[in-house]
Chain A
Amino acid sequence: MVRRLTAGGIVAAGGLGVALFAQTAVSSTGSSDVQGAIVSVIGAVFPGAGLRPASSAPSPVPPGTVPVATTHPS
């Protein structure tokens, strides 16, 4: 019984720690940054998944690419 409750306590404390970690991260950096960080980690672990943070900067153009001027359709 002590072992079961201790295991429950460890899981609860760990879960609370993760929740508070996320809470502090969101309150400090904003949810988009946290989402970006999570996606970056997943992308690093599974490079084939093709995930990229939504707010990340565009990839650099290959050298020698000619810029094209565009106008807004409206």
Chain B
Amino acid sequence: VTPNPLWFVDRSSGEVTLLLLSCVIVLGILRSALPTVYPRLAEGLHTNLALLAIAFGVAHVFAAVLDPFAHLGAVDALVPFASRYRTAWLGLGVVSGYLIAIVVLTSWPARRLPRIAWLWLHRTMYLGWLVAFVHALATGSDATNRLFLLLDLLAVAGVLVVFLSYRVAEGWPTRPFLRVPLAAVAIAAVLGLAVWAVNGPLQPGWARSSGTPPDLLRTR
């Protein structure tokens, strides 16, 4: 079976979405931690790159639905864990989409929520990003591709370094009891992701064990 170009669009746009989300998180942390350093520039870029990530994310979903290979439909793209193709891992992609949608919709067009509510809703972006990463590694066909792997490593390392350097260090002198568990959770999440990836998606035979329907296993 000759792969449809939409399949390549699906994979490439998904990876670009993930990298853009990583940049958005980094800019958001820097904007929050360094409010006096180019505030308009940081906020403007944070917002615009988020919109660009949404555009690539939409392209990713449309390409996945239109690509005839996995027989995905609108229900698979909108209802988590409804797909026959890698049910759990594709479902996580839908979940991450909704988490990111919550962050976007509560920030646009204006912050009408109380600040503390908006802040905690905005922080679900970390969870959305992590779930999107798990989805990309487990559902994508490029987990073992060196270029994709390198970009993924750079994105995770970048977010972790900026998170630890600014988000955790930001309130260190005043609230160490809150910051130590925060740093531990962040490091544990990244280490957990790495250990799981090495023992899961990076292992041979992942396509079968991840839930690819048997009739699709031999075609690609």
Residue numbers of A with Cβ under 8 A of B are 1-2, 5-6, 9-10, 13, 16-18, 20-21, 23-25, 27-29, 33, 37
A27 to B149, CA, bound (A): 14
What residues of B have a CB within 8 angstroms of the CB of A33 in the complex? 2
A27 to B144, CA, bound (A): 11
The interface bits of chain B over 94-107 (1 if a CB of A lies within 8 angstroms of the residue's CB, else 0) are 00000000000000
In the complex, what residue of chain A is closest to B46 when comparing beta carbons? A2
Contact of B20 among A2, A13, A23, A25 (CB under 8 A): A13
Among A2, A18, A24, the most chain B Cβ lie within 10 Å of the Cβ of: A24
Contact of A20 among B15, B23, B141 (CB under 8 A): B15
- Give chain A nearest CB distance to B201 CB in angstroms: 16
What residues of B have a CB within 8 angstroms of the CB of A20 in the complex? 11-12, 15-16, 147-148
Within 8 A of A (CB), among B24-44: 40-41, 44
- Inter-subunit contact A21/B12 (CB<8 Å): yes
- Inter-subunit contact A21/B8 (CB<8 Å): yes
- Inter-subunit contact A28/B8 (CB<8 Å): yes
Among A9, A16, A20, A33, the most chain B Cβ lie within 10 Å of the Cβ of: A20
- Give chain A nearest CB distance to B153 CB in angstroms: 15
A10 to B147, CA, bound (A): 20
B9 at the interface (CB under 8 A from A): yes
> 8 smallest A-B Cβ distances: which pairs?
A2-B44, A20-B12, A21-B12, A6-B48, A24-B8, A17-B16, A24-B11, A21-B8
B5 at the interface (CB under 8 A from A): yes
In the complex, what residue of chain B is closest to A18 when comparing beta carbons? B12
- Inter-subunit contact A27/B48 (CB<8 Å): no
What residues of A have a CB within 8 angstroms of the CB of B182 in the complex? none
User: Secondary structure of the A side of the interface?
Assistant: helix
B156 at the interface (CB under 8 A from A): no
- Inter-subunit contact A17/B49 (CB<8 Å): no
What residues of B have a CB within 8 angstroms of the CB of A27 in the complex? 142, 145
Contact of A17 among B5, B23, B45, B56 (CB under 8 A): B56
Contact of A5 among B11, B20, B45 (CB under 8 A): B45
What residues of A have a CB within 8 angstroms of the CB of B145 in the complex? 23-24, 27
Sample (17) of A-B pairs whose CB atoms are under 8 Å apart? A2-B44, A6-B45, A6-B52, A9-B20, A9-B45, A13-B56, A17-B12, A17-B56, A18-B12, A20-B148, A23-B145, A24-B11, A25-B3, A25-B5, A27-B142, A27-B145, A28-B7
What residues of A have a CB within 8 angstroms of the CB of B7 in the complex? 24, 28
- Give chain B nearest CB distance to A2 CB in angstroms: 3
B136 at the interface (CB under 8 A from A): no
